[in-house]
Amino acid sequence: MALPRLALMILLVGCSRRSEAPPAPSDLQATQSSSVATSRAAAPLADPAADASFDATAWVLADSARRAFVLYVPTPYEVVDKMLAVARIRPDDVLYDLGCGDGRIPIKAALEYGIKATCIDVDPQRIAEARGNAASAGVESLVTLRQANVFDVDLTPATVVTLYMSSRILAKLIPQLCRLAPLTRIVTHDYDIPGIEADGHWSVTSAFFGRRNELFEAGVPEDDPRYPRTEHHVFLWTTPLKSCP
């Protein structure tokens, strides 16, 4: 019996998607654009930007096909502590963490400093995980969770912005960072903002989680011997950025 045309089309589309080959390991290599390191763990993987026409907004769209190219690598807690310390947190600060993962930076900021923090991630799985972690820490009233494309977020309420993203993505965020109020602190893990000299740069030796998800196991202490130690970097800028109009 012949299938109705609509059912046949759905069947063909489904088959074509299942037959797509998974990304080759070489496609999941992180592009290290920071001038200070070439072998550290990278938050966004397989940066597909080959030229200046790269559409970063389209790449970070929250669909499963594109999320396959964005690997979650958490910032070690020792690095989190350093990031918050160099940000010189004040009681009235509002922190935005872009690509927040399991929420560890906003949650730590709320716990340690009692400030309001917003956790932004494109992946609903990460937001769900962060929501559970905020509840366990008892800071639901301080931590706001938003599933969103970071390029669509109004950052102007923030007085502190934290990020763990490649320098290419940071470059695409410059227009949003330029709209931040004066004296807002921008703190990044491992990657610098291209073309803009940082106010400060610190090194922290901590766990290396690797470029594959299975190398980070939730609940395993970060000082576990299976995680080699490596040098991480923390950068600080204070707005207005020098390249802003």
Question: What's the pLDDT tens digit per position in 52-91?
Answer: 444 544 444 444 444 444 567 889 999 999 999 999 999 9
pLDDT at 158 over 60: yes
For position 81, what pLDDT does the model report? Answer: 97
What is the per-residue pLDDT for 218? 55
Q: How far apart are CA 102 and CA 11, in angstroms?
A: 36
* Predicted confidence (pLDDT) per residue in 109-156, tens digit: 999 999 999 999 999 999 999 999 999 999 999 999 999 999 999 999
Which range is least confidently modeled, 7-11, 119-123, 229-233? 7-11
Q: Which helix (H) or strand (E) holds 94?
A: strand 94-98
Length of the chain, please? 245
The answer to whether the beta carbons of residues 78 and 204 sit under 8 Å apart is yes
Q: What is the pLDDT of residue 220?
A: 66
Domains of the chain: 77-238 (3.40.50.150)
* Residue 11 scores a pLDDT above 80: no
H helices of the chain, in order, are: 5-18, 56-59, 64-67, 77-86, 104-113, 124-137, 167-177
pTM over 0.75: no
Three-class DSSP category at 114: coil
Alpha carbon 74 to its chain's center: 8
Q: Which two tokens stand for residue 204?
A: 């922290």
pLDDT band at 244 (very low <50, low <70, confident <90, very high): confident
pLDDT at 152 (0 to 100): 94
Q: How far apart, in whole angstroms, are the C-alpha atoms of residue 79 and residue 84? A: 9
Buried/exposed 66-90: b ≥16 CB within 10 Å, e otherwise: ebebbbbbbbbbbbbbbbbebbebe
